[in-house]
């Protein structure tokens, strides 16, 4: 294929990204991609955490798990799970880009890297224009990327380009054993595991299959493959040690392997999909702190190509990709495959894989392997397209069009966008000298108000304040402290500040002075009242109430009132 064809493919991918991500392209300073009830705010807070740690202590600080901002007044260890994206956002803010713009630039950059990686892998496979375009439409617009990664804002899963570069280097190494392909494979694997350890697992599983297939054909490949494996292990091991230390266990491998050596212990995995969901366009939602959209829909062309490949596979390369696609289908369906209602079969292949590959059992969401089904299945169809191209060239354009339509039209949801609320600079300046912030209300009862969950709300407020914020994950610590329990209980039941004042003086804290002193002893320096989370039309009344407790506010606007908490 000519160079202009590759440039055309890259332009198509860019235009597709501008369409799918159009809101953050049009409003890059105020809008981020992802539904507000999804994984968005935890990821934004994670990027702010990287920035803060870099500014506080540089590289030495980043590798510490201790997180004083985790859950004031309680803190603990929190492992960095979004290393590469966090680093990219920090680089953006370091060169002067606004925070949200840095996040959006990272998203757009990862999107383009996905396109470049797809083109590089297809070029290595010697695909022509339409075959490459089909693979691109399959992997870039599939429900895994559109719904799980972008709509649900699970941004570390956008680091797919590095995985594609790794596979390109691996195939190139088998074809032309040279040291620079080993170095390229090691580097791309390193970026893969920094981007998402789930994708490192994709790379490992793929490598075992492809390398084993190659060694069966040509045993002399063991030397370059061994060098690549050693180099990748040298990067993966120290990162795995950091993950292991954050879990507080002596050996994550030994701990997890016990579930598989007996071949009887079932795995606890998050997977409710059946084989029908591979070809039926459905979306499931998981509910916890985050509402995530999940689907294993691979469309209809890949199953057709799989059947044709099974029937007409003519060379070893066809059979290798066909087998790898089938293998990932089995992994996607989990350790227990639901064939029909009431008929669930254990998957010996899944258990066997988990018994020989370290960390495999920590992949608690096996349905994520569906993206590898899209990739390998797209390659299987691409191989078939290459065979029929000489005689059916005029009809091949239909296949990428069908792939695009089934992913963007047939699936029932669209990508969400969020405009996070801002805080005036005067508020940030007022809080700059503070230590810990007590935002009130402590809980906004998301299910009743339609607002993001308290977990999301206080992650975002903490990001804006740049100070520790009191919030309770699932109210787990509110019930243990009488003060918090009291404050959390009175808000939904009383809209009158007079009733609140009376209750405060009668409750076990006795009086407003005792209430103020109790809060001050917890280490809080400021009390921030948020109008948006209060009962309707009670903001002014609440300001009067808390003025009795903390004296006049330091700052007031239509949304926020700030009180200083001073020990007396």
pLDDT tens digits, 285-306: 776 556 788 899 999 999 988 8
- Same domain, yes or no, for 57 and 193? yes
298 located within any domain = yes
- Same domain, yes or no, for 330 and 186? yes
Final residue of a domain: which of 375, 410, 445?
410
Exposed, middle or buried by CB within 10 Å (0-12, 13-18, 19+), for 402? middle
What pLDDT is recorded for position 358? 66
95 located within any domain = yes
Reduce the DSSP state of residue 287 to 3 states and report it: strand
- Can you give the pTM of this predicted structure? 0.86
Question: Residues 496-528: pLDDT tens digits?
Answer: 545 555 555 545 444 567 777 777 877 788 888
What pLDDT is recorded for position 177? 87
- Same domain, yes or no, for 385 and 439? no
The b/e string for 10-31 (b: 16+ C-beta within 10 A; e otherwise) is bebbeebbeebbebbeeebeeb
What pLDDT is recorded for position 267? 58
Q: What are phi and psi of 537, to 5 degrees?
A: 60, 30
- 3-state secondary structure string across 241-273: HHHHHHHCCCCHHHHHHCCCCCCCCCCCCCCCC
DSSP H or E stretch at residue 502:
helix 497-506
- Same domain, yes or no, for 376 and 498? no
Exposed, middle or buried by CB within 10 Å (0-12, 13-18, 19+), for 531? middle
- Same domain, yes or no, for 204 and 60? yes
Q: What are phi and psi of 524, to 5 degrees?
A: -85, 140
Reduce the DSSP state of residue 336 to 3 states and report it: strand
Walk along the chain (568 residues) and give the pLDDT tens digit of each residue. 678 888 999 999 999 999 999 999 999 999 999 988 888 988 998 899 888 888 877 666 666 677 777 766 666 777 777 889 999 999 999 999 999 999 999 999 999 999 999 999 999 999 999 999 999 999 999 999 999 999 999 999 999 999 999 999 999 999 988 899 999 999 999 999 999 888 988 999 999 999 988 888 777 888 889 999 999 989 888 777 766 655 555 444 444 444 544 445 555 666 778 899 999 988 887 765 567 888 999 999 999 888 877 776 778 888 899 999 999 999 999 888 888 777 888 888 887 887 777 667 666 788 899 999 999 999 999 998 888 776 667 788 999 999 999 988 887 667 889 998 888 888 888 888 778 888 877 654 444 445 556 667 778 888 888 888 775 444 444 444 455 555 555 555 544 545 555 555 545 444 567 777 777 877 788 888 888 777 667 788 778 778 877 889 999 998 889 999 887 6
Residues 254 and 446: their CA atoms lie apart, in Å, by: 40
- Fill in the DSSP letter of residue 470: B
What pLDDT is recorded for position 166? 97
Reduce the DSSP state of residue 153 to 3 states and report it: coil
What pLDDT is recorded for position 478? 42
- Fill in the DSSP letter of residue 452: P
- Same domain, yes or no, for 406 and 429? no
Q: What are phi and psi of 413, to 5 degrees?
A: -130, 165
- Same domain, yes or no, for 376 and 281? yes
Sign of the four-CA dihedral 338, 343, 348, 351? positive
- Same domain, yes or no, for 284 and 236? yes
420 located within any domain = no
Cβ-proximal residues to 248 (8 Å cutoff; 6+ apart), any chain: 77
Residues 72 and 484: their CA atoms lie apart, in Å, by: 12
Using omega within 30 degrees of 0 as the cis cutoff, is the peptide bond preceding 366 cis?
no
Segments forming the whole domain that contains residue 132: 3-410
Final residue of a domain: which of 384, 410, 436?
410
The count of structural domains within the chain is: 2
353 located within any domain = yes
Token pair 């570069």 in the structure block, residue: 165
- Same domain, yes or no, for 22 and 85? yes
Beta-carbon count within 10 A of 56 CB? 11
- Same domain, yes or no, for 122 and 17? yes
Q: Provide the token pair at 340.
A: 């029909």
Using omega within 30 degrees of 0 as the cis cutoff, is the peptide bond preceding 73 cis?
yes
Q: Provide the token pair at 229.
A: 């494996």
DSSP H or E stretch at residue 508:
none
415 located within any domain = no
What pLDDT is recorded for position 172? 95
- Same domain, yes or no, for 396 and 439? no
Residues 123 and 253: their CA atoms lie apart, in Å, by: 37
What pLDDT is recorded for position 422? 81
Q: Provide the token pair at 306.
A: 């799989």
Which of 108, 74, 69, 116 is closest to 88 using CA atoms?
108
Dihedral, CA atoms, 421, 426, 427, 431, nearest 10 degrees? 140
417 located within any domain = no
443 located within any domain = yes
- Same domain, yes or no, for 223 and 352? yes
What pLDDT is recorded for position 252? 44
């Amino acid at each position: 294929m000519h160079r202009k064809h590759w440039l055309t493919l890259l332009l198509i991918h860019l235009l597709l990204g501008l369409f799918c991500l159009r809101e953050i392209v049009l409003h890059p300073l105020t809008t981020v991609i992802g539904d507000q009830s999804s994984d968005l705010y935890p990821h934004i807070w994670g990027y702010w955490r990287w920035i803060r740690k870099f500014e506080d202590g540089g590289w030495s600080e980043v590798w510490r798990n201790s997180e004083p901002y985790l859950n004031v007044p309680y803190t603990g260890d929190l492992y960095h799970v979004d290393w590469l994206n966090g680093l990219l956002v920090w680089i953006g803010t370091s060169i002067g880009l606004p925070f949200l713009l840095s996040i959006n630039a990272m998203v757009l950059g990862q999107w383009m890297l996905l396109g470049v990686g797809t083109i590089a892998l297809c070029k290595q496979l010697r695909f022509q224009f339409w075959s490459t375009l089909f693979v691109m439409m399959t992997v870039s617009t599939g429900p895994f990327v559109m719904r799980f990664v972008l709509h649900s804002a699970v941004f570390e899963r956008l680091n797919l380009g590095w995985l594609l570069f790794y596979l390109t280097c691996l195939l190139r190494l088998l074809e032309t054993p040279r040291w620079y392909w080993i170095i390229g494979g090691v580097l791309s694997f390193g970026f893969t595991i920094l981007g998402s350890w789930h994708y490192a697992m994709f790379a490992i599983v793929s490598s075992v299959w492809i390398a084993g297939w190659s060694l069966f054909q040509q045993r002399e490949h063991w030397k370059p493959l061994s060098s690549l494996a050693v180099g990748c292990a040298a990067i993966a091991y120290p990162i795995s040690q950091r993950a292991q230390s954050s879990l507080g266990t002596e050996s994550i491998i030994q701990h997890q392997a016990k579930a598989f050596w007996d071949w009887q212990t079932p795995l606890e995995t998050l997977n409710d999909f059946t084989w029908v969901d591979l070809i039926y366009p459905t979306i499931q939602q998981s509910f916890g702190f985050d509402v995530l959209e999940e689907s294993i829909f691979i469309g209809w062309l890949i199953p057709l190509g799989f059947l044709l490949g099974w029937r007409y596979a003519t060379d070893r390369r066809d059979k290798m990709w066909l087998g790898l696609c089938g293998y990932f289908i089995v992994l996607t369906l989990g350790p227990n495959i639901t064939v029909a209602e009431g008929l669930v079969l254990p998957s010996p292949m899944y258990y066997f894989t988990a018994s020989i590959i370290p960390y495999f059992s920590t992949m608690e969401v096996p349905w994520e392997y569906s993206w590898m089904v899209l990739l390998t299945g797209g390659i299987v169809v691409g191989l078939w397209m290459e065979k029929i191209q000489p005689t059916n060239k005029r009809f091949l354009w239909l296949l990428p069009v069908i792939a695009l339509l089934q992913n963007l039209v047939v699936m029932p949801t669209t990508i969400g966008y969020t405009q996070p609320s801002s805080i005036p600079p005067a508020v940030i300046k007022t809080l700059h000298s503070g230590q810990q912030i007590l935002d009130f209300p402590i809980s906004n009862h998301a299910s009743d108000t339609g607002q993001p969950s308290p977990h999301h709300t206080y992650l975002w407020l903490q990001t804006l304040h740049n100070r520790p914020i009191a919030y309770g994950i699932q109210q787990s610590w509110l019930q243990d402290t009488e003060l918090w329990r009291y404050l959390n209980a009175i808000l939904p039941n009383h809209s009158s500040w007079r009733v609140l004042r009376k209750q405060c003086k009668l409750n076990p804290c006795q009086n407003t002075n005792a209430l103020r002193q109790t809060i001050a002893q917890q280490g809080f320096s400021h009390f921030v009242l948020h109008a948006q989370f209060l009962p309707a039309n009670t903001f002014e009344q609440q300001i009067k109430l808390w003025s009795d407790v903390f004296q006049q506010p330091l700052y007031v606007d239509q949304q926020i009132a700030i009180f200083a908490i001073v020990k007396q």
